[in-house]
Amino acid sequence: MNQQLKAQLKTTFGYDNFRDQQEEIIEHILSKKDTIVLMPTGGGKSICFQIPALIFENLTVVISPLISLMKDQVDALKSNGVKAEFYNSSLSDESKKAIQTKAENNELKLLYLSPETLFQISSSWFRNLTISLVAIDEAHCVSMWGHDFRPEYTQIKILRNQLKEIPFVALTATADRITRKDIATHLGLTEPKTFLSSFDRPNLNLNVKGNVPKQKKIDEILDFIESKPNQSGIIYCLSRKETEEWSQILEDNNIHAAHYHAGLTSDERDKIQTEFINDEIPIICATIAFGMGIDKSNVRWIIHNNLPKNVEGYYQEIGRAGRDGLKSDTILYFNYRDVKLLADFARESEHSTVLLEKLNRMIEFAEATTCRRKILLAYFSEELHENCGKCDICKNPPSTIDGTIIAQKALSAIKRTNESIGNNTLIDLLRGAKTSEMFSKKYNELKTYGIGADLNVNQWMFYITQLKNIGLVEVAYDENMHFKITNYGNKVLFENMKITFAAYKEKEKVVKGKSKVVKETKQLTTDEILFDRLKLLRRKIAVEENVPAYIVFSDATLLQMANEKPMTKNELLGIQGIGMQKSESYGDEFITLIKQFTQDLQPKKSTYDETFELLKSGLSIESIATVRGMATTTIYSHVAKLYLDGYPIKIEDFITVEDIEKIEKIIPNIENTNQLKPIYEALNGEIDYGIIRLTLSYLEKKN
């Protein structure tokens, strides 16, 4: 098999040897087992399914979200003599029919489809195909935790259930641990083996610059580009307007460039992509969508004009540089305007909690005092114990301390809570905070309670960020952002592996007449936050209607709206600048936003209060558990806490005098009455855990 694979690689693709893991992946796929492949951009993912496609007798279906990339890959395969086609909406009816006939007659080795197209044809001619393999490219799109979630990808599981005997291979360049788990689950893969290649791209130089004034940034970028004559590069921007501004700035300085965004026509975008690929345009100023379908190996540099919204997206975007393995540069500029804008966008999503946490991880990368390559690799669960020596942090390192003891304190606290706490709770536990959570969850009884009281909150936040950045802990997005200790973290905790932290340094405030070090950010009022939200909605409507934003509503109108918060059409008509037509055209959307914003400001009921409300309505504990979707034992715990906290609970409705006497009698024989199990066992299981919990609360209050 080894020689056959190498012969196929050489004959079809012209390579003498496989890259790391490629051969092992191909052999696993050929054994007809499900597979997950994680390789960085340019790592050679396509070969992993293209060679099996050539060896398997029948058709390989490739599911990809990128029409432009389909065409590029099919053209590349055809140029290598491989019978391949893509089938999508860009084709004429005549071309579609011809490809359909080829596929049905088993005259193709690979057929590329988008997930939308797949399900349009799944109940028609697609059923006639004889398939050997299904490959899902950009597989991270199936996960809501990934950076590019696409709901249509979740339907692929239907196909998986229909083709149970056919191997599936899922491939991606960017997936953290939770996204990998989602890929296997949501695609319905059967005991897939995961192949994880190194995410290290040592040929990329990583540099980050924060809060650089606009003109200084322009001067720096012009100097940088002029020092790289005739090299290809991409400037990524958050907005369409910024892409146009940057291309104009470059052209004004005799640097040939073009801008690219979704506002251009399809023909315009295709023309720009083609000219960039063909080196006719050296520089593209683009929104982040550009590059997804571009297979160009000689991009020498990537500049981010703004902060990306998450680490996965940033990694994917810088990964478009240096795909040929040659040295390439990446520069990220960011400021707090970027942070605010991205945070506002994230808050509008139904997955806002996760998106905000991922944005926070991106901010931590941008503001890091730790080797940047180490942070990126740690994010994708890869250890790098030595600093890279090439990024801006390594070239200008901060002062350091031995961070082993600090790390061990934090890791021990996480371990003793069964890895069920996040950032703020961890800090409270370490500092011995006297909060209700510490006592209700008995964290105050842990050995690590107060063990870090010598450090203040800001210091702990600084060091915990480094725990994440160097990969000692990971954030479980699917478990309320709780910390999970990695293998690397266990080495520090249990094997006394030494680690180094950047030393904490107090931020200096801005003082008039003195050198500016760090500018304190102004805390926005709720009215100012609402004003910004209203502007975002206005912007969305303006884009949809292709009119200037001020035509929808002026800033003065939005400001009055934010201050007065109208909740009805009549109240809206009282705002200056809103007549009947605008009230009818836009009123519902703005009122809905204001109502939701106001509702979000209201204090949320605690889980205990929700249980108490249901208890007052006369529901039994079992019924409450059903209504709330919780375990009955959890509701018993709620009732016990409510009783201890002084809520008007009739405890005798739930426990009997006989139960009380039995438990009271057995307690003196129990060493640790904080645990229910010893009492339960001593009573031979005659009394349920919930009743024991309530009885202990009754006795505690009685005594």
Model confidence pLDDT, tens digit, residues 228-248: 887 889 999 999 999 999 999
Q: What's the CA gap between 375 and 388, in Å, rounded?
A: 11
CA 511 to chain centre: 38
Which has the higher per-residue pLDDT, 307 or 42? Answer: 307
Q: What is the mean pLDDT of residues 442-450?
A: 94
Q: Report the 10 Å Cβ neighbour count for 173.
A: 22
Please say whether the beta carbons of 321 and 330 come within 8 A: yes
Residue with tokens 């349009």: 120
Q: What is the pLDDT of residues 353-402, one digit of tens each?
A: 888 888 999 999 999 999 999 999 998 888 888 899 989 999 999 999 99
So what's the pLDDT on residue 1? Answer: 61
Read off the pLDDT band of 288 (50, 70, 90).
confident
Check whether 422 has a pLDDT greater than 70.
yes
Question: Taken in order 294, 303, 469, 478, is the CA torsion positive or negative?
Answer: negative
Residue with tokens 């008039």: 512
Q: What string of DSSP letters covers 47-63?
A: HHHHHHHHHSSSEEEEE
Q: What's the CA gap between 267 and 173, in Å, rounded?
A: 29
Best CA proximity match to 341, nearest among 311, 366, 307: 307
Helices (H) then strands (E): counts for the chain = 32, 17
Q: What is the mean pLDDT of residues 395-413?
A: 94
Q: Fold identical between 398-502 and 607-702? A: yes
Q: What string of DSSP letters covers 68-104?
A: HHHHHHHHHHHHTT--EEEESTTS-HHHHHHHHHHHH
Q: May I ask the CATH class of domain 2-196?
A: alpha beta
Contact residues for 694 (Cβ-Cβ < 8 A; gap 6+): 636, 639, 640, 643, 651, 654, 655
Q: What's the CA gap between 113 and 70, in Å, rounded?
A: 8
Instruction: Return the percentage of the chain with pLDDT > 70, whole number.
Output: 94
Q: What string of DSSP letters covers 12-40?
A: II--SS--TTHHHHHHHHHTT--EEEE--
Q: What is the pLDDT of residues 494-527, one digit of tens each?
A: 998 999 999 998 765 444 444 343 434 446 688 8
Q: What is the mean pLDDT of residues 430-459?
A: 92
Q: What's the CA gap between 519 and 337, in Å, rounded?
A: 13
So what's the pLDDT on residue 510? Answer: 40
Which has the higher per-residue pLDDT, 53 or 340? Answer: 53
Q: Span 204-383: which CATH code?
A: 3.40.50.300
Structure tokens at 564: 């007065």
So what's the pLDDT on residue 441? Answer: 93
CA angle 154, 155, 158 (to 5 degrees): 125
Q: What is the mean pLDDT of residues 166-188?
A: 88
Pairing between strand 59-63 and 84-87? unpaired
Q: What is the mean pLDDT of residues 130-143?
A: 91
Host H or E run for residue 659: helix 657-666
Best CA proximity match to 421, nearest among 409, 434, 439, 437: 437
Check whether 195 has a pLDDT greater than 50.
yes
Determine the topology of domain 398-502 in CATH. Arc Repressor Mutant, subunit A (1.10.10)
Residues in the chain: 703
Q: What's the CA gap between 293 and 71, in Å, rounded?
A: 9
Q: What is the mean pLDDT of residues 99-106?
A: 93
9 DSSP 8-state letter: I
This prediction's pTM: 0.63
So what's the pLDDT on residue 104? Answer: 93
Please say whether the beta carbons of 257 and 315 come within 8 A: no
Q: May I ask the CATH class of domain 526-601?
A: mainly alpha
Please say whether the beta carbons of 90 and 293 come within 8 A: no
Check whether 448 has a pLDDT greater than 90.
yes
Q: What is the mean pLDDT of residues 417-446?
A: 92
Please say whether the beta carbons of 449 and 438 come within 8 A: yes
Check whether 425 has a pLDDT greater than 70.
yes
Read off the pLDDT band of 289 (50, 70, 90).
low
So what's the pLDDT on residue 497? Answer: 92
Q: What is the mean pLDDT of residues 290-305?
A: 78
Which has the higher per-residue pLDDT, 452 or 145? Answer: 452
Instruction: Return the percentage of the chain with pLDDT > 90, whole number.
Output: 42
Check whether 32 has a pLDDT greater than 90.
yes
Determine the topology of domain 607-702 in CATH. Arc Repressor Mutant, subunit A (1.10.10)
What does the domain layout of the chain look like in residue ranges? 2-196, 204-383, 398-502, 526-601, 607-702
Check whether 487 has a pLDDT greater than 50.
yes
Structure tokens at 496: 């006394």
Please say whether the beta carbons of 294 and 233 come within 8 A: no
Q: What is the pLDDT of residues 598-638, one digit of tens each?
A: 887 777 678 888 888 888 888 888 888 888 888 888 888 89
Which has the higher per-residue pLDDT, 1 or 581? Answer: 581
Q: What's the CA gap between 305 and 219, in Å, rounded?
A: 13
Q: What is the mean pLDDT of residues 189-195?
A: 92
Read off the pLDDT band of 295 (50, 70, 90).
low
The dihedral over CA atoms of 96, 102, 104, 109, expressed in degrees to the nearest 10, equals -110
Check whether 540 has a pLDDT greater than 90.
no
Q: Strands (DSSP E) along 515-648, which ranges? A: none
CA 552 to chain centre: 34
So what's the pLDDT on residue 97? Answer: 93
Check whether 33 has a pLDDT greater than 90.
yes
So what's the pLDDT on residue 516? Answer: 40
Check whether 257 has a pLDDT greater than 90.
yes
Classify residue 516 as exposed, middle or buried by CB count within 10 Å of its CB (0-12, 13-18, 19+).
exposed
Residue with tokens 């991922």: 358
Q: What's the CA gap between 558 and 565, in Å, rounded?
A: 10
Q: What is the pLDDT of residues 44-102, one digit of tens each?
A: 889 999 999 999 999 999 998 877 678 778 877 887 788 999 998 888 899 999 999 99
